[in-house]
């Protein structure tokens, strides 16, 4: 996504605009098409409402529409979005690591708290938590870490492959909280090794082994899990 420079004043976005920026950032980070209809579905509002919001954000120098009618964050919009996401993910770490909440509850509570956290509290929490690299779901914290360039969706792994789960889709976190609980109950969590036992292209399912258990996943569910292949590199010249 192209970043466009903005010279507008840098005041903090409203809570509504923050929700728009956060959703756009999540979809952009997972290479989803950034169209207004998709954004409306994500936010649970009407398409006309999104159109009005995007016009205001364009006026304020946070987004623009490209020639393909896709949404692009400007440099100012990206900076604001990263700040929101960073606070959310640090709050999640505090809620899980510090307060012992499960990762589904922590995500929902972080969404409520992120708008009330100051930069000072955010930085202090980050230090107290030991400078975490990711949120509990494995997603990198903007400004402090990045996703591995070797990551791929589990749905794209072939039969016989082995991989280490790195993160769960942020899109899934927000749109399908029940999926988070489902994955947690089956140990399909960051750090776990997963082996692809069978790929059913007709039924669009994968049978995988994780934590000594066999689990059958739909292609859609497997696409919400990111992993890094554990295939051994071949020596040069072979």
pTM over 0.75: yes
**For the chain, what percent of residues have pLDDT higher than 90?**
64
Q: Domain 1-146: state its class.
A: mainly alpha
User: How does pLDDT run across 106-139, given as a tens digit for each residue?
Assistant: 888 998 888 888 899 999 999 999 999 999 999 9
Residues of the chain with CATH 2.30.30.90: 151-229
Q: Which two tokens stand for residue 219?
A: 């292609």
151-229: CATH number: 2.30.30.90
Residues of the chain with CATH 1.10.10.10: 1-146
Q: Please, are residues 88 and 125 in contact by the beta-carbon 8 Å criterion?
A: no
Give the contacts of 190 (CB within 8 A, at least 6 positions apart): 134, 136, 137, 138, 165, 166, 167, 168
User: How does pLDDT run across 40-80, given as a tens digit for each residue?
Assistant: 988 889 999 999 999 999 999 999 998 888 999 999 999 99
User: How does pLDDT run across 148-172, given as a tens digit for each residue?
Assistant: 889 999 999 999 999 999 999 887 6
């Amino acid at each position: 996504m192209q970043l466009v420079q903005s010279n507008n004043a840098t005041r903090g976005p409203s809570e509504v605009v923050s929700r728009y920026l956060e959703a756009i950032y999540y979809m952009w980070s997972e290479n989803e098409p950034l169209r207004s209809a998709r954004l409306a579905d994500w936010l649970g509002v009407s398409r006309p409402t999104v159109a009005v919001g995007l016009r205001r954000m364009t006026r304020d120098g946070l987004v623009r529409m490209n020639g393909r009618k896709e949404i692009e964050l400007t440099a100012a919009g990206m900076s604001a979005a990263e700040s929101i996401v960073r606070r959310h993910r640090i709050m999640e770490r505090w809620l899980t690591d510090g307060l012992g909440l499960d990762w589904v509850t922590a995500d929902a509570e972080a969404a409520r708290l992120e708008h009330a956290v100051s930069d000072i509290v955010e930085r202090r929490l980050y230090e107290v938590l030991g400078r975490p690299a990711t949120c509990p779901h494995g997603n990198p914290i903007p400004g402090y870490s990045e996703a591995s360039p070797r990551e791929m969706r589990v749905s794209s792994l072939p039969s016989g492959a082995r991989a280490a789960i790195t993160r769960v889709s942020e899109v899934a976190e927000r749109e399908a909280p029940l999926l988070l609980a489902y994955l947690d109950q089956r140990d399909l969590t960051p750090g776990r090794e997963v082996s692809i036992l069978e790929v059913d292209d007709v039924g669009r399912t994968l049978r995988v082994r994780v934590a000594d258990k066999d689990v059958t996943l739909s292609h859609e569910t497997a696409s919400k899990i990111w992993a890094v292949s554990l295939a051994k590199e071949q020596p040069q010249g072979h």
